[in-house]
Amino acid sequence: MRKLIATFLTTTLSAAALVADPQLARTTAGKYVRLDDDGKWTYLTESGLNEFLGKTQAGELKSTIFPGAGLKFQSGKWNLTNSTNKDAEFTLRDLGDGLYCMFIPEKGSFSLELLKQAVVENAKSAVDSYNIVSEERRVINGKEFLILKAAITMKRTNFLFKYALYSQDGYSLQTIVYGLEEPFKANEAIADKLLFEGVIVP
């Protein structure tokens, strides 16, 4: 396991040594690591993650997969969490309102319609039912996104998911806010604020 992590971190450590501030990286197993400028690294717990963000990045995460992309959020409102979802570069948990957010950047770009099809087919294969409730094109920070809202049932439990999908210049991005149906309905304005004001693309 340590050998796998060491291999994953080799290039990141080299880059981190060029800057004074500590950097945040994510292993292929979904754990977050603090990279110091002296080449040392440390696993971060959830509290350690949020202490790191509060001190060094003020609620802004930058992707290591999609250069220039990231997510700004209210650090007292959202916590960064370790996630078992290996596709998500980072996952946030809303403190008190039952919402979660996944940020999934990938190399490769294609039409938003094709990205939507891939997202829907992937989701349908993992849940009991999946229905798109609404769909719109929206400009966020000067870039065109496809916004989807979907009702999902999994293990007899109803959820709502809202996606901001982007694909251009060799990269694709899915930012997804989700939660149980009733808490999501009650707090959709919080989800919209994160999606429409927080997503950063170059």
Domain count for the chain, please give it. 2
127 plus 103 within the same structural domain: yes
65 plus 39 within the same structural domain: no
Indicate the pLDDT class of residue 48, thresholds 50, 70 and 90. confident
Nearest Cα residue to 60 out of 164, 178, 199, 171? 199
Residue 8's pLDDT is 40
Q: What is the mean pLDDT of the chain?
A: 85
In a domain, 31, yes or no: yes
Contact partners, residue 15, CB within 8 Å, separation at least 6:
23
The phi, psi pair for 83, rounded to 5°, reads -130, 145
40 plus 140 within the same structural domain: no
Indicate the pLDDT class of residue 53, thresholds 50, 70 and 90. low
The answer to whether the beta carbons of residues 61 and 71 sit under 8 Å apart is yes
Q: What is the pLDDT of residues 127-159, one digit of tens each?
A: 999 999 999 999 998 999 999 999 999 999 999
Residue 45's pLDDT is 78
| Of residues 92 and 2, more confidently modeled | 92
In a domain, 40, yes or no: yes
| Of residues 77 and 56, more confidently modeled | 77
In a domain, 49, yes or no: no
64 plus 35 within the same structural domain: no
Long-range CB contacts for residues 56-62, cutoff 8 Å, separation at least 24: 56/21, 56/22, 57/24, 60/200, 61/24, 61/90, 61/103, 62/200
Q: What CATH number is associated with residue 104? A: 3.40.1000.10
86 plus 34 within the same structural domain: no
pTM of the model: 0.78
Indicate the pLDDT class of residue 36, thresholds 50, 70 and 90. confident
For 4, the domain range is 1-44
